[in-house]
Amino acid sequence: MEAVFYNFMPIWTVMFPIFMSMVIFIISRRSEKLRDGLSVATAVVTFFSVAAMYPYLAAGNIIDYTIFDILPGLGVSVRVDILSFSLAIISSFVWMLVAIYSIDYMSHEHGGDRYYPIFIFTLGSCLGIFMAGDFFTLFIFFELMSLISYVLVIHEETREALRAGYKYLIMTIIGGLALFFAIILTFELAGTVSLSQGTLITAAGTLPFLAFLSFLVGFGMKAGMFPLHVWLPDAHPVAPSPASALLSGIMLKTGAYGMLRVLFTVFNIPLVKETGWDMIMLVLAVITILLGSAVALTQEDLKRRLAYSSVGQMGYIILGMALLNETALVGDVFHIFSHALMKSTLFLAAGAIIWKTGLRNINDLQGIGKKMPVTMGAFTIAALAMIGIPPLNGFLSKWTLALGALEAGAPLYVVVLLISSLLNGLYYLPIIIAAFFGGEEEEEGGHHGEGIPFNIQEAAHRMVIPVAILGLACIVFGLMPNNFAFELSLRTASFLINAGMP
């Protein structure tokens, strides 16, 4: 009975938001209030539905259920293990907060009737990716999410947004096709693409290598891995800020999730090590880290800087999984958590600032910290966490990653992490310093054209509170080393190392 209930749970958590998005779409013509409330309610219910699966999973069970077969060996199925759960819980958590944040943010924007259904639909498809039981289902939701989130990217419908959106779309299609190729190769080699069959490909060869590369392209595209990151810095800043937070904070992680599955389910550690494919990932990861951090330095636009920072952070995650040992994996999964929290804090805070002041350029933000202390405070915490200042969660993930790198006998990567942290510091600290300590002298000189208007206060409560919660979470998960997220990371890592078998 219990198993039946839990088999049903993932279907419910995925289909409920998708269904509700239609309801919201219909309702949005009637009443805006109802629409907003319903969106938040859906996100909240979804979060608790995901959380409700925890006891069952914590007991070491895996939910695995095939809904129907499209073709022999190719069906639509759901599967929730501890890795799926980790990603699903953080996604639905951030989503819930962003939903609350959106209410006020979107009241200024046009097209809310379109935004909310898409927003909730994306939640469903994103959870669908994490809870898919096989690569085919994963692929369906992956494409669904990528295509649907296009609407979020171009929401503002400016020329710039449309151009970025077009780039995003083409890259998405390329990624989707690479994924298609990879999946079809896997199917050809293994006869199935299910995630619950253990390792799918055990022997090296040309076709497996092609499959690996295609997977890397397909998921790397989404994860913003060098050299496939080109769409990311264009697409993320042009979206409305809540959407940027999700794009950077959560949706990039679908790529990372896919890569984890590829490394530990499609292939296995001995095979990857033996063939040296991990080197490809490591090299790309290092380039991604350094490039992302370095280019972020040169960006003047606040959201663009954050977007490039995301590229760099995704590099950490790819690096962590490519090290292929348990400690690194702990750091890796924990960094997924941390980055989701930090980056959504940053984007939401940036969004609140832009919403209030209309300023996007970093140089214009002198003294903003005095006007909007809570928002900027959260921003500061998240930025410090990004740099890796000790009591914050960013430090914990980087520390564990560095330990993993040392365990793998590659101190070079520790150096890379340090350099990157230094760069992070270089591009985050000036913002913070200027925000809190700059300002007075600028007001007289005013050589930046427009400064901050005088009458600026904190943004609306429903925007500040989610930002504050996320900022707090950064502290909480960093201060307590045995927190829930870290526990999950430990469990997930050991689960993955043991080849996906509990």
Partner 1 sequence: MSLHLPVISIALLLLASFVMPLLRRGARAAALPFTLSVLGAVFTVSLYLIYLVESRGAFSYHVGGWPPPWGVELYIDHLAVYMMMVLSSICLVVMVYGARDLYHEIRAEVMSWYYTLYLLLLASMIGIALTNDLFTLFVFLEISTISACGIISIKKDRECIEASFKYLILSVLGSGCVLLGVAMIYMITGYLNYDFVAQELPQAIAEYPYNILMALSLFIVGFSVKSALFPLHIWLPDAHSSAPSPSSAVLSGLVIKIYAAAILRLLFRVFPAELFEVVPVLDILLFLSVLAVMAGSIFAMVQEDIKRMLAYSSIAQIGFVFMGIGLFGNRALLGGLVHIFNHALMKSMLFLAAGLIIYAAGIRNIRDLRGIGVRMPLTMGAFAIGAFSMVGIPGTNGFISKWHLALGALDLGRPFFVAIILLSSLLNGIYYLPIVINAFFGVKIEPRSEHRDVPGMMLVPVLILAAGVIFFGFYPGPILALLEQAIVL
Pick one of 63, 185, 190, 195: the residue that binds partner 1 (CB under 8 A): 185
Preceding peptide of 55 cis, ω within 30°:
no
Contact of 489 with 482, CB cutoff 8 Å: no
Name the one range near partner 1 by CB under 8 A: 133-141, 237-245, 270-278, 317-325.
133-141
What minimum distance in Å lies between the beta carbon of 243 and partner 1?
15
- The smaller minimum CB distance to partner 1, of residues 170 and 279, is found at 170
On whether the CB atoms of residues 335 and 257 are closer than 8 A, the answer is: no
Q: String of b and e for 389-410 (b: at least 16 CB within 10 Å)?
A: eeebbbbbbbbbbbbbbeebeb
Residue 22 found at the interface with partner 1 (CB under 8 A): no
Q: Which region among 33-41, 149-157, 353-361, 473-481 touches partner 1 (by CB under 8 A)?
A: 149-157
Please, where are the H alpha helices in 108-198? 112-131, 135-153, 159-190
- The span of 5-13, 139-147, 195-203, 385-393 binding partner 1 (CB under 8 A) equals 139-147
The mark string for 449-488 relative to partner 1 (x by CB under 8 A, - otherwise) is: ----------------------------------------
Minimum CB distance to partner 1 smaller for 174 or for 475: 174
Beta strand spans in 43-85 (E): 63-71, 74-80
CB of 184 to partner 1, least distance (A): 5
Our finding on whether 15 is near partner 1 (CB under 8 A) is no
Per rule CB under 8 A, is residue 11 in the interface with partner 1? no
Which of 55, 69, 198, 358 lies at the binding interface for partner 1 (CB under 8 A)? Answer: 69
User: Which of 3, 26, 58, 70 touches partner 1 (CB under 8 A)?
Assistant: 70
The span from the CA of 397 to the CA of 314, in Å, is 13
Q: In whole angstroms, what is the distance from residue 333 CA to residue 491 CA?
A: 10
DSSP 225: -
When the beta carbons of 184 and 406 are compared against partner 1, the nearer one is 184
| Minimum gap (Å) between residue 207 Cβ and partner 1 | 7
Stretch that binds partner 1, among 87-95, 175-183, 223-231, 376-384 (CB under 8 A): 175-183
Q: How many CA atoms within 13 Å lie on the side-chain side of 316?
A: 36
What single-letter DSSP state applies at residue 1?
A: -
What SS3 state is found at 191? coil
Number of chain positions touching partner 1 (CB under 8 A)? 33
Minimum distance, C-beta of residue 183 to partner 1, in the bound complex (Å): 9
Which are the contacts of 112, defined by CB distance < 8 A and separation ≥ 6?
28, 32, 35, 106
Considering only CA atoms, give the Rg of the chain: 22
Note whether 283 binds partner 1 by CB under 8 A: no
Query: What DSSP element (H or E) covers 353?
Result: helix 326-357
Interaction of residue 144 with partner 1, rule CB under 8 A: yes
For 211, other C-beta atoms within 10 Å of its C-beta total 26
Give the range of 178-186, 326-334, 370-378, 483-491 binding partner 1 by CB under 8 A.
178-186
Tokens of 60: 């070491």
- Please tell me whether residue 170 binds partner 1 under the rule CB under 8 A: yes
Q: Is 497 in the site for partner 1 (CB under 8 A)?
A: no
Does residue number 81 form part of the binding site for partner 1 (CB under 8 A)?
no
Q: Report the nearest approach of partner 1 to the CB of residue 161 (Å).
A: 9
If one asks whether residue 212 binds partner 1 (CB under 8 A), the answer comes out as: no
Beta bridge partners of 66: 77
Q: Which candidate, 357, 141, 315, places its Cα nearest to that of 227?
A: 315
Question: CA dist 467 to 33, 343, 415, Å?
Answer: 22, 11, 32
Q: How far apart are CA 76 and CA 140, in angstroms?
A: 9
From 164-172, 328-336, 350-358, 399-407, span contacting partner 1 (CB under 8 A): 164-172
- For residue 247, the minimal CB distance to partner 1 (Å) is 17
Does the protein bind partner 1 through residue 181 (CB under 8 A)?
yes
Give the residue with the Cβ less far from partner 1, 174 or 287: 174
Cis peptide leading into 227, omega within 30 of 0? yes
Q: Which neighbouring-strand residues pair with 134?
A: 194
Residue 140 engages partner 1 in binding (rule: CB under 8 A)? yes
Residue 416 and residue 289 in contact, taking contact as beta carbons nearer than 8 Å:
yes
Give the footprint of partner 1 on this chain (CB under 8 A). Answer: 69-71, 74, 76, 136, 139-140, 143-144, 147, 150-151, 154, 157, 162, 165-166, 169-170, 173-174, 176-178, 180-181, 184-185, 187-188, 207, 210
